[in-house]
């Protein structure tokens, strides 16, 4: 079993690399952003709440987000048993603490954190392109600017947090998708 957190700024390639990792390691993918977007498109109560934060580029409050993740984990016990790739969670230190506890309660832990490190100008370029390609509503320049600010203030401290836990694997996340994937793979194979 291998539980991996894929970590990085918005636009760093977490979703793209997660898809490759699922194929390679047979992991179950949990993208909290996708879970929330699904609620928004179905018009659920959570979707309405989430939309009010996502459209401004803000984070959903920790207590709500932790409940959402716990529900996803408990919905799919057999799917998550072989290992999970956590994409977009945790995004704050309290979320990382909550994840640690949730996994400990289920007899497991985070085995490795893959940190995709990408220069800011490339992040912005990629998100603007994704906005054009997919119509994703929060990939517009105003929201992107705020998401990056939020990343620096609330999410980037997790890098230090996971370095201190001895779990952080820094990956150069700019350039070719295949080269990045091979770098991740060699780090994970070494961490297993
Ligand atoms: P993502 O698809 O991971 O880029 O997430 C899109 C948006 O969903 C983020 O900008 C946040 O508003 C919200 N979101 C996703 N995951 C989380 C999380 N773990 N904590 C708080 N907000 C989140």
Question: What are the average pLDDT values for consecutive 10-residue runs of the chain, which has 192 residues?
Answer: 96 96 93 97 98 96 97 89 95 98 95 97 97 96 97 98 98 96 94 70
Q: Is 91 in the pocket of ligand 1 (CB under 6 A)?
A: yes
Expressed in angstroms and rounded, the spacing between residue 46 Cα and the centre of ligand 1 is: 13
Q: Is 130 in the pocket of ligand 1 (CB under 6 A)?
A: no
Can you give the pLDDT at residue 124? 97
Peptide bond into 90 cis (omega under 30): yes
Q: Is 89 in the pocket of ligand 1 (CB under 6 A)?
A: yes
Of 20, 100, 106, 136, which is the active-site residue?
136
Can you give the pLDDT at residue 104? 96
Distance separating alpha carbons of residues 1 and 158, to the nearest angstrom: 23
* Ligand 1 atom with least separation from CA of 14: 3
Cα 71 from chain centre: 17
**pTM of the entire structure?**
0.96
Can you give the pLDDT at residue 81? 87
Phi and psi at 139, nearest 5°, equal -90, 55
Distance separating alpha carbons of residues 30 and 73, to the nearest angstrom: 9
Q: Is 39 in the pocket of ligand 1 (CB under 6 A)?
A: no
Is 92 strand, coil or helix? coil
Phi and psi at 80, nearest 5°, equal -85, -10
Can you give the pLDDT at residue 192? 66
* Ligand 1 atom with least separation from CA of 58: 12
Q: Is 65 in the pocket of ligand 1 (CB under 6 A)?
A: yes
Mutation to probe ligand 1, out of 11, 15, 19, 32 (largest number of atoms < 8 A from CB): 32
Among 142, 122, 150, 149, residue whose Cα is nearest residue 55? 142
Expressed in angstroms and rounded, the spacing between residue 89 Cα and the centre of ligand 1 is: 8
Distance separating alpha carbons of residues 185 and 56, to the nearest angstrom: 35
């Amino acid at each position: 079993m291998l539980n991996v957190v894929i970590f990085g700024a918005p636009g760093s390639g977490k979703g793209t690399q997660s898809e490759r990792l699922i194929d390679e390691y047979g992991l179950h993918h949990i993208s909290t952003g996708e879970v929330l977007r699904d609620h928004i498109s179905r018009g659920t109560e959570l979707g309405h709440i989430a939309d009010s934060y996502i459209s401004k580029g803000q984070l959903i409050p920790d207590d709500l987000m932790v409940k959402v993740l716990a529900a996803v984990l408990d919905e799919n016990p057999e799917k998550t048993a072989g290992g999970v790739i956590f994409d977009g969670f945790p995004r704050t230190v309290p979320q990382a603490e909550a994840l640690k506890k949730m996994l400990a309660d289920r007899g497991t832990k985070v085995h490795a954190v893959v940190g995709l490190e990408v220069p800011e100008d490339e992040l912005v370029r990629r998100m603007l392109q994704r906005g054009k390609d997919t119509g994703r509503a929060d990939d517009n320049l105003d929201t992107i600017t705020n998401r990056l600010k939020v990343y620096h203030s609330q999410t980037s401290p997790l890098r230090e947090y996971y370095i201190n836990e001895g779990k952080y694997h820094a990956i150069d996340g700019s350039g070719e998708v295949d080269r990045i994937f091979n770098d991740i793979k060699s780090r994970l194979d070494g961490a297993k």
